[in-house]
Amino acid sequence: MKATTQCEHTEKIIGSLLSGESPSAVLARHETHLAHCPVCRTVIEQLPGDLEQWQNAEVPLLPLKSLLPQPVSEPVHYRSIVMRSVVTAAAAIVAGLLLSRFFVPEPIPELQNIAQDYALLVTTDNSFPVEFFNE
Amino acid sequence: MTDDRQLAEALRQKDEKAFSIFVTRFQPMVARVIFKITGDMNDTNDLTQDVFLTVWEQVEDFRGEAALTTWVYQLATNKALNHLKWEKRRQFFSLSYWGSDTKNTSLPKSLNDAPGRLIREDDSNAITAALDQLPGQQKAAFVLSKSEGLSNPEIATILGLSVSAVESLNFRAKQNLTRLLKTYYQSKTT
Ligand SMILES: [Zn+2]
């Protein structure tokens, strides 16, 4: 284990920075120590930036319309919209599958007649060339 | 309609124009506080909507003597804290809680392990990751103090606690963050 991991200055430096003390003031107070302690140097180099970035983090805002009172008093939850679309899409696929499974097309009269004629021909006339239909 | 009292009165009258002024003025603050407490953008959007719906429906509950800002902070903080409680319970009962090492109290090296948590897309922000390990109230006190710049008496009103309780929360938050950040920066140095 490195000696620096036991440094008792680290917590003091972090504490001062978290309390809002300026990095330059902290730097000045611990100058001698910082010259030879890599852990405390990492803290002074990175923590002020991390803190500032966290404090100034911008949060994307929702469109005004989605926050105004709705005619229905239910809030429009973004995730509900996504879930609803997913459920609708899934329902559409299931319905499609069911339809394709059970849907029997209406017989078309002309085709039915041709089929009947063909059946009659095949069963009554043995000389009928079957290949004719296969072309 | 720049005065808070006027705005609150117009909201009580269910004036929709006043409500859009109100939303425009307060949305950045509401979203920011909720996001910094929950750390999740999806939750932030849902809870922000909840806050404004509550304002619209319960504006009669707003007592004129408190600042409108304080009341909105209160709604946002409470919704975020309730959500964290609910989320914690949900995680406890989910299977992954028992199968993974998420109970590990040290600061995660990779902060990418929670889908939907936009702020963790890079692991560069140690504060966010360290705050995530803190109990809800400590987190809320730290956010309201260090990000929103509120005083301890203001935070006490928002959290419904005594000023000394807030001082204690801030003290413990700082203590825990210091410990977590120390581990984090040590691991970055070695
Ligand atoms: Zn040191």
Q: What is the pTM of this model?
A: 0.72
Question: For position A43, what pLDDT does the model report?
Answer: 97
How far is Cα A59 from Cα B66, in angstroms, rounded to an integer?
27
- Stated length of chain B: 190
Q: How confident is the model at residue B119 (pLDDT cuts 50, 70, 90)?
A: very low
Residue type at B165 in one-letter notation: A
User: Tens digit of pLDDT for each residue in A83-115?
Assistant: 777 777 877 777 767 666 665 556 666 666 666
8 Å CB contact of A39 and B16: no
Whether A17 is covered by a domain: the verdict is yes
Task: Say yes or no: B168 and B98 in one domain.
Answer: no
Mean pLDDT throughout A7-26? 96
8 Å CB contact of B125 and A54: yes
Task: Say yes or no: B12 and B75 in one domain.
Answer: yes
Task: Say yes or no: B85 and B158 in one domain.
Answer: no
Domain count, chain A: 1
Question: For position A21, what pLDDT does the model report?
Answer: 95
pLDDT: is B96 or A58 the higher one?
A58
Look at residues B79, B74, B69 and name the one whose alpha carbon lies nearest to residue B49: B79
Domain count, chain B: 2
8 Å CB contact of A67 and B147: no
pLDDT: is A34 or B189 the higher one?
A34
How far is Cα B147 from Cα B133, in angstroms, rounded to an integer?
17
Residue B85 domain boundaries: 1-113
For residue B182, what is the domain's CATH number? 1.10.10.10
Task: Say yes or no: B124 and B104 in one domain.
Answer: no
Q: Which residue has the tokens 């600042």?
A: B67
8 Å CB contact of B146 and A42: no
Query: Among B113, B136, B167, where does a domain finish?
Result: B113
Contact A69, B57 (CB under 8 A): no
Mean pLDDT rounded to a whole number for chain B: 85
Return the ∠ at Cα B49 (arms to B46 and B54), rounded to 5°. Answer: 125
Whether A130 is covered by a domain: the verdict is no
pLDDT: is A126 or A112 the higher one?
A112
Task: Say yes or no: B6 and B37 in one domain.
Answer: yes
- Chain B CA closest to residue A79: B42
Residues with Cβ < 8 Å from B67, sequence gap 6 or more? B4
pLDDT: is B2 or B147 the higher one?
B147
For residue B101, what is the domain's CATH number? 1.10.1740.10
Residue A37 domain boundaries: 4-55
Task: Say yes or no: B155 and B76 in one domain.
Answer: no
Query: Among B85, B113, B141, where does a domain finish?
Result: B113
Q: How confident is the model at residue A59 (pLDDT cuts 50, 70, 90)?
A: very high
Task: Say yes or no: B8 and B50 in one domain.
Answer: yes
- Chain A CA closest to residue B17: A68
CA atoms within 13 A on the CB side of A9: 20
- Chain B CA closest to residue A45: B185
Cα of A5 vs centre of ligand 1, distance in Å, is 8
Question: For position A125, what pLDDT does the model report?
Answer: 53
Percentage of chain B surpassing pLDDT 70?
83
